[in-house]
Amino acid sequence: VSLHQPCGFCGCSGHEDCKIQIKIALNSSTVLKVKSSCPYTHTFCYPNADIGSNNRPCHNVPIKCELCHPSLASVTGKKSRTTPPFIDAIWRYNMIQHLEEVHPQYTHPDNVIGHPLPVQILASFMLTTLEQEDTNILTSWWLMPLFKGEKENVQVGSGSRKQKTISSASISTNAKKAHKSA
């Protein structure tokens, strides 16, 4: 596996064929379709892969960088696109490298100096405890969950999980802890 932003299908980096794109539903963050020309591309159920499971905790899926492609609210009274376009995506495990290369002005677990990274972007690429354990990441390098008592690998549509609020101070504390222990 390559070290610089490897493809989630073949593990190579730098191949134009390995470019990954996603189509996101209008007025939603739901991924409708994944597109890549990588010769090792295979279909997968995005919602299941996005949450992982006890047997397969990996949830390395292509995600949208909200800094590159911000979500825009629809304008009332105007017709918007009827079909969403494909946009370039980043594999979840490559997001920190993407931030370092494309958005170096923002803080993240490897860079604690800069503009605060929006909470929803940080949450989009955080690894679960189970995932960090399974991939044998040294405990001292673990990133802490964003929410106290966060449940991992909760089934989609369980309905019982309420959205929790978080302050940017607790995120930067977790990022600093991870950075200092590295």
Q: What is the mean pLDDT of the chain?
A: 74
Asked whether the predicted pLDDT for residue 41 surpasses 90, the reply is: yes
Q: Which amino acid is at 56?
A: R
Q: What is the pLDDT of residue 139?
A: 65
Q: What is the pLDDT of residue 178?
A: 43
Structure confidence by residue, pLDDT tens digits, 56-103: 778 889 999 999 988 755 555 555 556 788 999 999 989 989 999 999
% of the chain residues with pLDDT over 90: 27
Lowest-confidence segment of 93-107, 118-132, 163-177 by average pLDDT: 163-177
Pick the closest to residue 51 from 145, 148, 156 (CA basis).
156
CA distance to 73, 106, 120, 165, per residue, from 70 (Å): 10, 15, 12, 21
* Predicted TM-score (pTM) of this structure: 0.69
Pairing between strand 20-24 and 90-91? unpaired
What is the rounded average pLDDT of the residues 24-44? 89
Task: Specify the higher pLDDT residue, 154 or 19.
Answer: 19
Q: Which tokens is 96 given?
A: 């920190």
